[in-house]
Structure 1
Amino acid sequence: MKSFLSAALVSAVLAFAPLSVTSASEHEVAVNINTADVEELDKYLDGIGKSKAQAIVDYRAEHGAFESADALTDVKGIGNAIVEKNRDRITL
């Protein structure tokens, strides 16, 4: 009985392991907000959809490179909560 339970537990862990690895690695991607395109911003930053990603790219084109992650709040529709949620992934 112990062997069966052990085998079942190992099978369950292995069955879900690829899902957790994929999810974790996607959230560990660093995004350079000064070079990322719309697709990268949309895919890797939480709370950033296509329209906000486009706003970031447009703002960058008009005003130049961001000097800090906090400067993203200058983009319409992006507040401190979004910056904080993504701070570990944002690079310059």
Structure 2
Amino acid sequence: MIRNRIIPLCIVVAVMMALVSVSLAQEAEKININKASAAELAQLKRIGPKLSERIVEYREKHGPFERPEDIMQVKGIGPKTFELNKDRITTE
């Protein structure tokens, strides 16, 4: 009787742990704004396909970003968008 309850409970706990670890791994993964493709940049918060293309175009025209904050020089990216993504972007 107890065994019948423990197995499903273990399965539920294992699934929950797997979901949490995947979520944490995605958040911890940094995106290099000097090397990322438009598709990779589109994974950032509030940055869709058009804005990610604009980032790539800006980078190609002006050269690499020196600091993560420099992404705000791209039209359409302001302090709010930068704040939402500052922990996920890097220039190295």
TM-score bracket for this pair, using the shorter chain length: 0.7 to 0.9
- Any idea what SS the aligned residue of 2:55 has? helix
- TM-score normalised by the chain length of structure 2: 0.81
* CA-CA distance at 1:6 after TM superposition: 5.9
- TM-score normalised by the chain length of structure 1: 0.81
Unaligned runs of 5+ in 2: none
RMSD: 1.9
Task: Please list the CA deviations of residues 28-67 of structure 1 after superposition, one character each: whole Å capped at 9, or x if unmatched.
Answer: 1111111111111112x22211111101001111111111
Q: Distance in 1 between matches of 2:22 and 2:87?
A: 18
Residue 21 of structure 2 aligns with which residue? 21
Residue 75 of structure 1 aligns with which residue? 74
Q: Structure 1 segments of 4 or more deviating over 2 A?
A: 1-12
* CA-CA distance at 1:9 after TM superposition: 4.4
- Any idea what SS the aligned residue of 1:35 has? coil
Residue 56 of structure 2 aligns with which residue? 57
* CA-CA distance at 1:20 after TM superposition: 1.5
Residues matched between the structures, number: 91
* CA-CA distance at 1:2 after TM superposition: 7.6
* CA-CA distance at 1:11 after TM superposition: 3.3
Q: Percent identity?
A: 36
